[in-house]
A and B are shown apart, each in its own frame.
Chain A
Amino acid sequence: MTSQTIHTLFKPLPGEQGAAAIEIWFNDRPLTVAAGRSVAAALFAAGISRFRATPVSGAPRAPYCMMGACFECLVEIDGVPSRQSCMVEVKAGMRVRSQEGARDLPPAAPIDASLENAHGR
């Protein structure tokens, strides 16, 4: 996502002891996140709600199960694609990229699913 606008789905519990803030990169932009959690949890709390686009229709996806089963949270971490962001602990300096399916879609391209032939490939 190149858009600056965020859509915060989860936030730290009010009154929770503040976790150390660390800097990571998300889609080539610096992002301040809380440490001591999975990449997925860190991205959620930093207002990221689109983790990847599907290879079939380009539909946006975000974590669904948070336990390594659904593979909806796949991102690229430090150059390695298809990492399960719910299973990897976030570390300072990590370079995280949303995974744009198999089609190399331009980020944030408006997607009209009705124009897509889901099984035409």
Chain B
Amino acid sequence: MAADFASEAVDVVVIGAGPAGMSAATRAARAGLKTVLIDEQDAVGGQIYRAIGKADARRKEILGPDYAAGAAIAEGFAASGARHLTNASVWQVTRERGVNFLKDGKIGSFDAQRVILASGALERPFPIPGWTLPGVLTAGAAQILLKSAGEVPAAPPVLAGCGPLLYLLGWQYVRAGVPIRALVDTTRHEDRWRAKRHLLSALRAWPFLSKGLQLIRTLREAGVPIFEAADDLRVESRLGADRVEHAAALSFTTQGTAHRIEADVILLHQGVVPNTQFTQALRASHRWDDAQLCFTPNVDAWGELDVPGIFVAGDGAGIGGAQAAALQGTLAGLAAAAQLGAVERAKRDAEAAGLRRALADVTRIRPFLDSLYRPRDVNRIPRSETIVCRCEEVTAGELRKFVELGCVGPNQAKSFGRCGMGPCQGRMCGLTVTEVIADARQVSPAEVGYYRIRPPIKPLTLGELAGE
């Protein structure tokens, strides 16, 4: 059993060191609270500001001003007095606000008065034939390689899908002098029409809108071939000289015309969704968000869950982007500090009013983006041959057969065919499985529900658990 193992009592534990987590920890610490920020990386930044502390001027120039803006948040955090626990992965948060983590092969634990979850977003699954092949990565993965290691595709890649991150990566590659084979955009003309409903509010968020247009203009001016309204995406493979099957080409159609573009690296993206592993494991209530096509935890105006004393800040409570995340982090840190008596209620409310105004400004473009870059049904609810669960190699067709046999939800799908039972714990298939089952049963995703997520959220060995 866990020998000489004691929980350390602290006021606030914040999990995740992106903009939301850094801001939350900064605010709580500034109120004089004993605050710990836990994160899996060796430095702050999360994914959006990954390696911000070691990025030199050239890296910042390539990645652009939105990335460089993270440095100020990181500096604020460094000066706040909050403790930063690096390279630590939290494998459990209890409803009683116990936080169990693994660091350097050893387990540790905090007993917190308040917990702020800031574990951000995951890229939405993009299940198309061949998406499991070596050489197929997410656009976010490619961006992490650029931010953290200065690595870029060895040969011109294909970027495929939709959403701001995809165009941003292309823009960054152009600035870095990295040639791009093609941008294959799945956004259709009808998506553009639908999104126009939200254009008025988007126009009020002109700086965001204009930035997005600039990204695509840069790609066009750089001569990157852009294919629009792409359908029937499929990654083709070949056996390499090393006798390993790799990605070799992306094939697709545009308005009935077939295309095939050869590339060893194919970067997929169709938006990001809240990382709900902690909130699901906490049995907090969630709702299906039909605009963002994902499950979102229910929170109050401060980010507090229906599990008292536990907050969510940033994309984990619904996708709002980095600027919104920082503001939500400050709000949650402020609310936690007020609950613990470190900030007076009147001061809290006065400060919150300004934060909420800023939040309204930076989220005004969201309905437009959600509508314009709503991933296509076929790219979320794939045809039968496509692998849905990467870990256990369960296809959409097998999943539909489970439904024919009486499987009503994701948790039953596990016993029908191990779907979602691999090491990723449903992170790569959860939403797809929900939507495929909902589609097959002709009911709403809300009715189908999500996987029952259980700790450990991150794998640990029995030996580590026993404190060996």
A49 part of interface (Cβ distance < 8 Å): yes
Contact B393 A57 (CB under 8 A): yes
A91 part of interface (Cβ distance < 8 Å): no
CA distance A61 to B138 in the complex (A): 14
Contact A60 B144 (CB under 8 A): no
Contact B178 A13 (CB under 8 A): yes
Chain B 101-142 interface mask (CB, 8 Å, partner A; 1/0): 000000000000000000000110000000011111110111
> In the complex, how many angstroms separate the beta carbon of A75 from the nearest chain B beta carbon?
13
Task: Using known A-B contacts A7-B242, A13-B151, determine if residue A119 contacts B417 with beta carbons closer than 8 Å.
Answer: yes
CA distance A61 to B136 in the complex (A): 10
B11 part of interface (Cβ distance < 8 Å): no
Of residues 34 to 54 in A, which have CB atoms within 8 Å of B's CB atoms? 34, 36-38, 41-42, 44-45, 49-51, 54
Closest to B147 in A: A66
Of residues 143 to 164 in B, which have CB atoms within 8 Å of A's CB atoms? 144-146, 148-154
Top 10 closest A-B pairs, CB basis?
A62-B134, A66-B141, A37-B149, A41-B149, A71-B423, A5-B242, A66-B144, A10-B151, A11-B154, A16-B150
B231 part of interface (Cβ distance < 8 Å): no
* A contact residues, range: 35 or more
| Chain A residues positioned under 8 Å from B138 (CB to CB) | 64-66
Closest to B277 in A: A69
Residue of A3, A38, A45 touching B148 (CB-CB under 8 A): A38
Chain A 54-79 interface mask (CB, 8 Å, partner B; 1/0): 10110111111111111110100000
CA distance A63 to B264 in the complex (A): 14
* B contact residues, range: 35 or more
Interface-forming stretch among B64-72, B243-251, B334-342? B243-251
> In the complex, how many angstroms separate the beta carbon of A101 from the nearest chain B beta carbon?
11
- If A3-B242, A49-B240, A111-B245 are given as contacts, then 6 extra A-B residue pairs at C-beta distance below 8 Å, sorted by A number, are A7-B134, A7-B244, A9-B135, A10-B265, A13-B62, A13-B152
Number of A-B contacts (CB under 8 A): 158
> In the complex, how many angstroms separate the beta carbon of B353 from the nearest chain A beta carbon?
35
CA distance A10 to B150 in the complex (A): 10
B241 part of interface (Cβ distance < 8 Å): yes
Chain A to chain B contacts (Cβ below 8 Å), 11 pairs: A3-B244, A7-B244, A49-B135, A49-B246, A51-B134, A60-B246, A62-B134, A64-B136, A67-B47, A69-B122, A110-B243
> In the complex, how many angstroms separate the beta carbon of B109 from the nearest chain A beta carbon?
21
B404 part of interface (Cβ distance < 8 Å): no
Closest to A118 in B: B393
Task: Using known A-B contacts A41-B151, A50-B134, determine if residue A71 contacts B243 with beta carbons closer than 8 Å.
Answer: no
Closest to B120 in A: A67
| Chain B residues positioned under 8 Å from A12 (CB to CB) | 149-152
CA distance A36 to B42 in the complex (A): 11
Task: Using known A-B contacts A61-B134, A66-B140, determine if residue A45 contacts B244 with beta carbons closer than 8 Å.
Answer: no
Task: Using known A-B contacts A50-B244, A82-B459, determine if residue A69 contacts B424 with beta carbons closer than 8 Å.
Answer: yes
> In the complex, how many angstroms separate the beta carbon of B225 from the nearest chain A beta carbon?
21
Contact A44 B145 (CB under 8 A): yes
Chain A 1-21 interface mask (CB, 8 Å, partner B; 1/0): 101011111111111110100
A31 part of interface (Cβ distance < 8 Å): no
CA distance A36 to B417 in the complex (A): 41
Residue of A63, A65, A71, A89 touching B391 (CB-CB under 8 A): A71
| Chain A residues positioned under 8 Å from B424 (CB to CB) | 69-71
A92 part of interface (Cβ distance < 8 Å): no
A108 part of interface (Cβ distance < 8 Å): yes
Contact B141 A67 (CB under 8 A): yes
A87 part of interface (Cβ distance < 8 Å): yes
Contact A7 B145 (CB under 8 A): no
> In the complex, how many angstroms separate the beta carbon of B372 from the nearest chain A beta carbon?
24
CA distance A62 to B264 in the complex (A): 13
CA distance A44 to B153 in the complex (A): 10
B406 part of interface (Cβ distance < 8 Å): no
CA distance A89 to B41 in the complex (A): 10
CA distance A53 to B15 in the complex (A): 32
Candidate in B62, B136, B424 with the most chain A CB atoms within 10 angstroms: B424
> In the complex, how many angstroms separate the beta carbon of B249 from the nearest chain A beta carbon?
15
